[in-house]
């Protein structure tokens, strides 16, 4: 087998050599070269597309030029040496250069293309065209140009497949550029052969070519440009690459599996290196070495996301030619020292996402008059801003967000005539926002959100900013934003965020302005009145929740909106039928309003809708079976409405459904067995309805409810035994390693699932549901029979409530297996026997309610059981031991203690029971009963019976009824 592969490879090489020799022997005359060029032109099409072409002559200078059809005017009647893009040798007329870059060419380069007959070519540039090979392989015929080709540029084409080994035979190549050909693969052997054979290579640009190899250490000393960004390099970065004597441009960035150490000695390339990018390489938490300070010719330095730590060395101040400094996303720390002020030519400064602390020095970049972009966000800077930061006439972008800056805005801030983007969000700035902000006539992005600004801000200050695109003043709780129709907002706004700004009315836009708002958030204000007409222009995200809006929903942008949140207002009327035409809608949240009417019966499929939240409204009628047309729904919440009728079997079609909350309605049906097969259902709330009948003892589904973690069927009329078939198959509640799972929430973009549950005796709204949260609540029904031993298999269960049913039998000892159980409520049943001693091992148990059963025997002692009060056990006359006064065995309390407790009980609780007995049975019988109790000295026993029968609250024992 090995011999066969060897013979095959050998024969391929022989064929390649013969073809190459034939090609070299068949050199064409100038006239034949002209014909070959013209045939090459005819083999390709000229696209009607006028795309721009992107170029970069350094890390900083990236530019674009429009495409141009260079071959359009080629004609056989003219001299081919005058054709655009063609260069000829002056004396012979041989074609030595062909530059058809960015020429709108499209088509396949065939193996027999006449292009490969131009054997005198020294320069070939076909970049920025839509060229490809029909075979899907990189054309190996480019290896035919070995005679004299020195420059080959095939970047930004559509070539795919493996680069042939023949490329490494182009031994005269000075420049090879294959960048941005994402489908091209350079195999390890070819890559190493290329670097070994092309000894004259000065420019090698393989950016985004799939190499997936280690970088050899025997690189050519002639290299000046080496760009291997995003090529899949891995392994250890050889130190030799930093010591190439003629290197000017080095980019090895975005190779996440590449590791290395920066040299601590003077670099061999220190005299020539101008552009250095090592972003994303893991330097093993090392610091920035002082040796970087010797790179005195360095113009750009990019060490973003390199896992660097420690302070910035003082030697960085030696890089006086530096124009670009990118240290973003490291673990650098310490204060910013004034030595950065020595870098007077700096234009782009990115120190964001580090751990820098302290004050910004007053001389920080004070002399960098050419600064365009400064980003210091996501650090720990504190204190006021130095005025020197705002004496920068060329500054266009300033981002100081996510720091601890304080104090008022300096007046010098508004002396930045070129400013386009300003982000001061998530700081502690105070004082007012000056009216003079209207001087920023070039401003496109302004973000002052999450600060402590105060005073009254009139939106009229933004009217002169005719280029304003993004405005965010949200979460300034001491700021009051006002708007007047006299000075409307600029129509250029794309994003408007004014959440929590104490607004009382909507912002104003000119009535005749063409508005195209993408994102609007006016939530958590005091806005009153109806929704204005300009809201209809919002086409992506609209949030006006938590206001005082009134009126209907007809004027909303139903045809274009994707995320709509109007919860917690006073909106009324019914849901418009327009909702059925909302083909882009993904999240609809109209909860906590006064909407009425019935749910629309949409016949079309709203394929994108994932959230349908109408809880806490006055929706009536029945659940429409056509709701299942919304096949991508993951969350349905209709809690707290007036829905009636049965449960549609079509809900079985919600394959992606995760949350279904229909609690607090009037649905009248048996348990919806059709939901059993839903593979993703995690939350099922049917509480407080009129469900009835027995739950299924069998199921057609092998594992019903495989993902269910929260089920609440309380306050219904279910009867019969507990559904053992479900307890056996709640797979999502059986993970014993739940505490090791990373905590996360059930949420999707712009929406978090929520529900109302009774937790530890209190009804609580969970605004966000943890994916590790588990609960079973079957209370307030008519279930009977025993508690299944399978309950002990639900190892991740945190809350179990089976109270107020007719359950009998013993408490299963297997409940002791539920080691993360926090609440256990089995009260108001007919359970008997002893409390299993194994339950003392439930160290997480914070609430235990076993009251009003027929339990007997000694109450277990130890750990959590020593913290439970009397009301955990009241109503079980056969129980004894702490915390009850009834002792177990023959231990008797003294007569004095007995009398004190009984008297206390009588005067603290019996008085009210006697009054009620008097009203219920007559005054005389009541007093007779009271006298007999006192005579028999048994007030506690009798009062306990009466209280239990009447369901009254005994003050001393503090029995809490839900």
pLDDT in the model for residue 317 = 87
**What's the whole-number mean pLDDT along residues 543-560?**
93
Domain 23-169 = CATH 3.40.50.1100:
no
Q: What is the mean pLDDT of residues 792-801?
A: 93
570: CB partners within 8 A, 6+ apart: 548, 549, 550, 593, 594
State residue 665's pLDDT score.
97
Q: Which residue has the tokens 């050199």?
A: 27
CB-based contact 28:118 (threshold 8 Å): yes
Strands (E), 20-61: 45-46, 52-56
Beta bridge partners of 696: none
d(CA 563, CA 550): 20
Q: What's the chain's average pLDDT?
A: 85
The secondary structure of residue 102, as a DSSP letter, is T
Q: Are 373 and 397 in contact (CB under 8 A)?
A: yes
* CB proximity list for 530: less than 8 A, separation 6 or greater: 549, 550, 551, 552
Distance CA 197, CA 178 (A): 17
Q: What's the token pair of residue 4?
A: 């066969």
Q: How many Å apart are CA 323 and CA 345, to the nearest integer?
A: 5
Greatest Cα pair distance in the chain: 137
User: Alpha helices of 711-772 — where are they, by DSSP H?
Assistant: 724-727
Residue 54 CA to residue 954 CA, distance in Å, equals 82
For the chain, give every residue range classified as CATH 3.80.10.10: 23-169, 214-334, 670-880
Other beta carbons within 10 Å of 952: 16
CA-based torsion, 219, 220, 224, 230: positive or negative = negative
% of the chain exceeding 70 in pLDDT: 88
Report the candidate in 338, 339, 350, 342 with the shortest Cα–Cα distance to residue 279: 350
Q: Is 629 helix (H, G, I), strand (E, B) or coil?
A: helix
Give the mean model confidence (pLDDT) for residues 284-289: 84
Q: Which of 757 and 949 is assigned the larger pLDDT? A: 757
Average pLDDT over residues 946-951: 34
Residue 373 has pLDDT above 90, yes or no: yes
The answer on pLDDT for 631 being more than 70 is yes
Asked whether the predicted pLDDT for residue 340 surpasses 90, the reply is no
Confidence check: pLDDT of 778 > 60: yes
pLDDT tens-place string over residues 843-876: 999 999 999 999 999 999 988 899 999 999 999 9
Query: What is the reported pLDDT for 763?
Result: 77
Q: Give the pLDDT confidence score for residue 856 in this predicted structure.
A: 95
Alpha-carbon gap, residue 48 to 104, rounded angstroms: 8
288: closest CA among 265, 262, 325, 317?
262
Q: Kindly tell me if the per-residue pLDDT of 595 is higher than 80.
A: yes
Report residue 944's pLDDT band, with 50, 70 and 90 as the boundaries: very low
- Bridge partners, residue 775, by sequence: 710, 799
List C-alpha distances in Å: 38 to 5, 33, 47, 73, 236.
41, 9, 17, 11, 49
φ and ψ at 325, to 5 degrees? -130, 110
Please report the pLDDT score of residue 951 as a whole number.
34
Q: How far is the C-alpha of 596 from the C-alpha of 575, rounded, in Å?
A: 8
Question: pLDDT grade, residue 605 (50/70/90)?
Answer: low
Other CB atoms within 10 Å distance of the CB of residue 881: 18
Q: Which residue has the tokens 């926002």?
A: 433
Give the residue among 350, 357, 360 at the shortest CA–CA distance from 379.
Answer: 357
Q: For 177-210, what is each residue's pLDDT tens digit?
A: 999 888 899 998 999 988 888 899 999 999 999 9
pLDDT tens string 5-40: 434 443 444 444 434 444 443 578 999 999 999 999
What is the structure's pLDDT at 740? 66
Residue 736 — very low, low, confident or very high, per pLDDT cuts 50/70/90?
confident
DSSP state of 738: G
Burial of residue 25 (CB within 10 Å: 0-12, 13-18, 19+) is exposed
Task: Examine the pLDDT at 943 and tell me if it is beyond 60.
Answer: no
CB atoms within 10 A of CB 394: 15
Q: Which two tokens stand for residue 768?
A: 């966000």
Confidence of residue 921 (pLDDT cuts 50, 70, 90): very low
Which CATH number is associated with domain 214-334? 3.80.10.10
Cβ–Cβ < 8 Å for 701, 675: no
pLDDT mean over 206-219: 90
**The CATH number of domain 670-880 is 3.40.50.1820:** no
Contacts of 330 (CB under 8 A, 6+ apart): 303, 304, 305, 306, 307, 308, 309, 353, 354
**What pLDDT sits at residue 61?**
65
Residue 947: pLDDT over 90: no
Indicate the burial class of 167 (C-beta count within 10 angstroms; 0-12, 13-18, 19 or more).
buried
pLDDT at residue 897 in the model? 40
| 794: its two tokens | 């639900």
Measured over the CA atoms of residue 278, residue 282, residue 286 and residue 287, the dihedral's sign is positive
Q: What is d(CA 159, CA 190) in angstroms, rounded to the nearest whole number? A: 17
């Amino acid at each position: 087998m090995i011999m066969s592969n060897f013979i095959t490879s050998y024969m391929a090489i022989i064929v390649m050599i013969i073809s190459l020799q034939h090609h070299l022997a068949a050199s064409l005359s100038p006239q034949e070269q002209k014909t070959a060029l013209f045939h090459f032109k005819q083999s390709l099409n000229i696209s009607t597309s006028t795309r721009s072409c992107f170029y970069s002559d350094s890390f900083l200078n990236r530019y674009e030029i429009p495409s141009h059809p260079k071959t359009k005017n080629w004609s056989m009647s003219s001299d081919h040496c005058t054709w655009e893009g063609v260069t000829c040798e002056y004396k012979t007329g041989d074609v030595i250069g062909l530059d058809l870059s960015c020429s709108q060419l499209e088509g396949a380069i065939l193996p027999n293309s006449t292009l490969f007959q131009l054997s005198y070519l020294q320069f070939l540039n076909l970049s920025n065209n839509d060229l490809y090979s029909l075979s899907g392989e990189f054309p190996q015929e480019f290896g035919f140009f070995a005679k004299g080709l020195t420059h080959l540029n095939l970047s930004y084409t559509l070539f795919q497949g493996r680069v042939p080994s023949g490329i490494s035979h182009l031994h005269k190549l000075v420049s090879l550029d294959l960048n941005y050909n994402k489908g091209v693969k350079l195999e390890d052997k070819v890559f190493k052969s290329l670097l070994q054979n092309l000894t004259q290579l000065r420019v090698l640009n393989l950016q985004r070519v799939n190499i997936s190899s280690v970088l050899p250490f025997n690189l050519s000393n002639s290299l000046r440009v080496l760009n291997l960004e995003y090529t899949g390099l891995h392994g250890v970065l050889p130190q030799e690459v930093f010591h190439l004597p003629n290197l000017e441009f080095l980019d090895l960035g975005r190779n996440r599996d590449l590791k290395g150490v920066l040299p601590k000695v003077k670099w061999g390339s220190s005299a020539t290196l101008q552009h250095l990018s090592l972003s994303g390489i893991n330097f093993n938490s090392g610091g920035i070495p002082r040796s970087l300070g010797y790179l005195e010719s360095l113009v750009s330095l990019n060490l973003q996301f390199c896992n660097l730590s420690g302070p910035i060395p003082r030697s960085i101040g030696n890089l006086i030619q530096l124009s670009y400094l990118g240290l973003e996303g490291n673990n650098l720390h310490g204060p910013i020292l004034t030595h950065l002020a020595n870098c007077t030519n700096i234009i782009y400064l990115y120190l964001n996402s580090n751990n820098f602390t302290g004050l910004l020095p007053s001389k920080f970049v004070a002399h960098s008059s050419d600064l365009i972009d400064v980003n210091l966000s996501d650090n720990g800077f504190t204190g006021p801003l130095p005025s020197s930061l705002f004496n920068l006439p060329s500054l266009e972008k300033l981002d100081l967000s996510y720091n601890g800056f304080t104090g008022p805005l300096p007046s010098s801030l508004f002396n930045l005539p070129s400013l386009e983007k300003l982000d001061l969000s998530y700081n502690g700035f105070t004082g007012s926002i000056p009216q003079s902000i209207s001087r920023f006539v070039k401003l496109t992005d302004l973000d002052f959100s999450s600060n402590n600004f105060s005073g009254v801000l009139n939106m009229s200050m933004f009217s002169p900013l005719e280029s304003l695109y993004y405005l965010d003043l949200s979460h300034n709780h001491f700021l009051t934003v006002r708007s007047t129709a006299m000075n409307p907002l600029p129509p250029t706004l794309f994003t408007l965020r004014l959440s929590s700004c104490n607004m009382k009315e909507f912002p104003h836009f000119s009535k005749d302005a063409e508005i195209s708002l993408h994102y609007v958030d006016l939530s958590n204000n005091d806005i009153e009145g109806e929704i204005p007409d300009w809201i209809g222009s919002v086409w992506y995200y609209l949030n006006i929740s938590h206001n005082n809006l009134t009126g209907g929903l007809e004027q909303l942008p139903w045809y274009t909106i994707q995320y709509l949140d109007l919860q917690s207002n006073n909106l009324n009327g019914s849901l418009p039928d327009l909702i059925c035409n909302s083909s882009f809608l993904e999240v609809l949240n109209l909860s906590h309003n006064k909407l009425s009417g019935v749910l629309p019966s949409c016949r079309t499929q709203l394929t994108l809708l994932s959230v349908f939240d109408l809880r806490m409204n006055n929706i009536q009628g029945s659940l429409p079976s056509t709701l299942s047309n919304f096949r991508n729904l993951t969350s349905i919440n209709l809690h707290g409405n007036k829905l009636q009728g049965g449960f549609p079997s079509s809900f079985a079609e919600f394959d992606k459904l995760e949350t279904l909350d229909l609690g607090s309605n009037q649905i009248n049906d048996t348990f919806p067995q059709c939901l059993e097969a839903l593979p993703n259902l995690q939350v099922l709330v049917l509480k407080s309805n009129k469900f009835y009948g027995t739950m299924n003892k069998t199921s057609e589904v092998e594992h019903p409810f495989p993902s269910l973690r929260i089920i609440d069927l309380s306050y219904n009329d279910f009867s019969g035994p507990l559904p053992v078939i479900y307890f056996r198959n709640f797979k999502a509640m059986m993970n014993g390693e739940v505490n090791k799972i990373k905590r996360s929430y059930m949420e999707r973009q712009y929406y978090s699932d929520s529900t109302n549950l009774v937790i530890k005796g209190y009804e609580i709204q969970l605004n966000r549901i943890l994916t590790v949260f588990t609960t079973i609540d079957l209370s307030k029904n008519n279930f009977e029979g025993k508690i299944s031993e399978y309950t002990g298999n639900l190892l991740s269960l945190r809350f179990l409530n089976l109270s107020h049913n007719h359950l009998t039998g013993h408490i299963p000892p297997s409940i002791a297996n539920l080691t993360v159980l926090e609440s256990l409520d089995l009260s108001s049943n007919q359970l008997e026997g002893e409390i299993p001693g194994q339950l003392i091992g439930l160290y997480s148990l914070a609430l235990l309610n076993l009251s009003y059963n027929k339990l007997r025997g000694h109450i277990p002692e130890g750990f959590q059981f020593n913290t439970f009060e009397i009301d955990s056990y009241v109503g079980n006359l056969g129980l004894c031991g702490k915390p009850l006064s009834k002792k177990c065995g023959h231990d008797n309390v003294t007569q004095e203690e007995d009398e004190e407790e009984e008297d206390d009980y009588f005067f603290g609780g019996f008085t009210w029971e006697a009054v009620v007995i008097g009203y219920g049975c007559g005054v005389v019988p009541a007093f007779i009963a009271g006298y007999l109790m006192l005579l028999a000295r048994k007030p506690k026993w009798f009062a306990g019976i009466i209280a239990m029968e009447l369901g009254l609250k005994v003050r001393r024992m503090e029995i809490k009824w839900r």
